[in-house]
Chain A
Amino acid sequence: MPHSTPEQLALAALGEPLPDTDAAHLAGCAQCSAEVAALRRPVEVLAVPELAGTAPEVTPPPQVWTAIAAATGVSAVPPSSGAEVVPPSSGAEVVPLRPRRSRTRWLTIAAAVLVGGVVGGGAVALTRDEDGSGSVVATAALDPLPAEDASGRAEVRDVDGVRSLQVDLDAPSLPDGYYEVWLLQPDAVRMVPVGAVHRGDTVLPLPDGLDLGAYPLVDVSVEPMDGDPTHSGVSVARGSLQR
């Protein structure tokens, strides 16, 4: 019997079943088998499950669009698909984030929410109490939001069941206004004010009973001295509390 056609051998390399006569020939023909083996090499390289075209859809976290918008300079906003509004939680006192500046700005900061491994209810101590400053139960690296120049680190400490937030902030000095720290829910709509912070280290008490699992984001905002207790809408650094 003659050799299989080049096209049939290519289909064999892709793993398609061959007509019986071709299959029988291939089993006994070293030349055709070698040809299939050579054509299989690119198939083995590329036709791997990790590159296959279908995977379960996963919604990227909001900071992905923020980064795309920043990299492309595009200020358009992905259209809404009618997401539901998270109801106010009971317990902790919360204030809605009220944008005092532009809506665009608000969308930028809201989109910059970081959702990482979230702190659960029963946070486990990361470090032992060595010097009386308590055990560190969670930490957050505070990363600058796009076009901002502030960063730092936040630690939740626990001394005998009383929690505090220690913030180490590296940020420009403000000619007027001040930095304030907030704990945000992942949607960045609900938040708890924690207090004003200086550049450098500041230790702030955390409200008793505040569920850090529900408010996992540490947000640093710039607040004007205008007597308005709500968030200015201008965040400069943010990070997700991790155990």
Chain B
Amino acid sequence: MTALSRPHLPAMRPYGREVVREVAPVPAAGPSDAEIARRFCAGDEQALAEAYARWAGQVHGLAVRAFGPGPDAEDVTQQTFVAAWTGRAGYTPAAGPLPAWLVGICRHKIADTWAKMARQRRSAEAAAADARARPRAADADRVDDAVADRVLLLGELDRIGQPQRRIIELAFFADLTHSQIAARTGIPLGTVKSHIRRTLERLRDRLEVDGAALHP
């Protein structure tokens, strides 16, 4: 081995670790979250990379909680950022901070993946049922219905304007009470309550018209 020199070069930085957001929730250096969001909307490619460095851990954490570590979670995280980038025209600061918007997209991708898994399971079971003529378990139907209803209602949430959408998301996903939501958003208590009421009615109506559980 002596004949071949092995040039010693400074080791390249292992790229994979760089996306870790360390301990501090607010990075000490670099652009502000709002600045990244602004440039993200404007189509600045570097802002996508910065958004990923800052929030991929949060998004991937949700995906891993839903599917465990592995390809399904990785697909969800990938799809979330790709969809956010291609759909960046749909983001407005009124919807809340950019990471909250990313998390909203991630929820969709999680629900879509559940639905895809349910479809695959159904077709696998259908194949097995053809072979063995065994009826499908009622439990499995209930799980599939819940999955379909989640996709339906997440889609309906997308059609709800602001600030109604942000209010209901804080109630559903951040488990805040109406008074906490009012404090967080600065929206008067009575307005928060009436928005919650109307949004729940709207979602209930959507389930009654198109929900899987009522219309097998």
Contacts and interface: CB of A to CB of B under 8 A. Distances in A.
Contacts of B178: 11, 14, 16
A176 interface: no
A81 B18 contact: yes
Nearest to B78: A67
Contact of A188 (B8, B9, B14): B14
Contact of A39 (B12, B63, B200): B200
Contacts of A29: none
Given A47-B173, A79-B18, A187-B14, A64 B48 contact: no
A225 to B, nearest CB: 15
Contacts of A97: 12
B73 to A, nearest CB: 8
B204 A72 contact: no
Contacts of B193: 7, 10-11
B116 to A, nearest CB: 15
Contacts of A81: 17-22, 53
A50 interface: yes
B49 A42 contact: no
Contact of B64 (A51, A55, A65, A67): A55
Contacts of B60: 57-60, 64
A55 B4 CA distance: 51
B201 interface: yes
A47 B199 CA distance: 14
A104 B27 CA distance: 26
B61 A61 contact: no
Contacts of B9: 96, 98
Contacts of B211: 41
Interface in A68-101: 68, 71-72, 74-81, 83-86, 93, 95-99
B175 A187 contact: no
A106 B12 contact: yes
B45 A10 contact: no
B52 to A, nearest CB: 5
Nearest to A42: B203
B56 A60 contact: yes
Chain B interface size range: 35 or more
| Interface of B (DSSP majority class) | helix
Contact of A59 (B19, B30, B86, B150): B19
Interface in B21-64: 21-22, 30, 45-46, 48-50, 52-53, 56-64
Interface residues of A, number: 67
B96 to A, nearest CB: 11
A111 interface: yes
Contacts of A80: 13, 18
Given A43-B172, A45-B153, A229-B4, A55 B53 contact: no
A121 interface: no
Contact of B6 (A58, A68, A77, A230): A230
A56 interface: yes
B141 interface: no
Contacts of B14: 83, 85-86, 110, 187-189
A216 B48 CA distance: 30
Q: 8 smallest A-B Cβ distances: which pairs?
A: A187-B14, A42-B203, A83-B17, A57-B57, A62-B16, A78-B53, A76-B49, A10-B197
21 contacts: A14-B196, A16-B178, A45-B207, A47-B171, A51-B172, A58-B60, A59-B16, A59-B19, A60-B19, A60-B56, A60-B77, A68-B48, A78-B19, A78-B50, A85-B14, A95-B6, A97-B12, A98-B9, A99-B12, A186-B16, A188-B16
Given A77-B49, A78-B18, A86-B14, 17 more contacts: A7-B197, A39-B200, A41-B207, A45-B150, A45-B207, A46-B154, A51-B107, A51-B150, A53-B62, A54-B174, A57-B21, A68-B52, A68-B82, A76-B46, A81-B53, A95-B6, A187-B16
Interface of B: 1, 4, 6-9, 11-22, 30, 45-46, 48-50, 52-53, 56-66, 69, 73-74, 77-78, 81-82, 85-86, 100, 103, 107, 110-111, 146, 149-150, 153-154, 157, 169, 171-175, 177-178, 193-194, 196-197, 200-201, 203-204, 206-207, 211
